[in-house]
Each structure stands twice: as C-alpha cells, then as structure tokens.
C-alpha cells in the first residue's frame, strides 16, 4: 500500500496537487498553518489514494512524497 506524506513546511498552498489528484482527496488544511504562514495541503482519505504520484510530481516545492507502507 502507498501513503502520501507531506512536508508541510515546504508547502506554499498553490493547490496544484489538489487539482492534479484524480481521486479528489487533497485539500488545503482549514486549521493548520506552517512557519511561512501558508495553510498546507493535506489528504482527506488515505484509503482512496491509488498511489499515482501525480500530486508529488506536480508539486513545485517537492513537498510531497509517496511512501510504501
């Protein structure tokens, strides 16, 4: 199984990953804020992730990694 891991401190809330996700399971956090003052992207439903890595590939700040668990 694959898992999406965010480096929240790198995220700049650009939303590219959210738009790229075919399963529509990414969102901008409503309650978190990183040290740069951005609300980081997060996954809403890990179970639905197909591990396609579109999100990780499109992120300009290399804030997303796909891990095998």
- Rounded Cα distance between 21 and 14, Å, is 14
Minimum distance from CB of 28 to ligand SF4 (Å)? 7
- Rounded Cα distance between 69 and 31, Å, is 27
Handedness of CA 48, 3, 36, 34 (dihedral sign): positive
For residue 42, state whether it binds ligand SF4 (rule: CB under 6 A). no
Q: Pick the binder of ligand SF4 from 1, 21, 30, 36 (CB under 6 A).
A: 21
Which parts of this chain interact with ligand SF4 (CB under 6 A)? Answer: 4, 11-17, 20-23, 25-26, 41, 43, 49-55, 58-59, 61, 63-64, 66
């Amino acid at each position: 199984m694959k898992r999406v891991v965010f480096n929240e401190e790198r995220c700049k809330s650009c939303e590219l990953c959210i738009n790229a996700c075919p399963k529509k399971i990414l969102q901008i956090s409503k309650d978190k804020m990183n040290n740069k003052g951005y609300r980081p992207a997060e996954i809403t439903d890990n179970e639905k992730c197909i591990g396609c890595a579109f999100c990780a590939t499109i992120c300009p700040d290399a804030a997303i990694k796909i891990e095998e668990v």
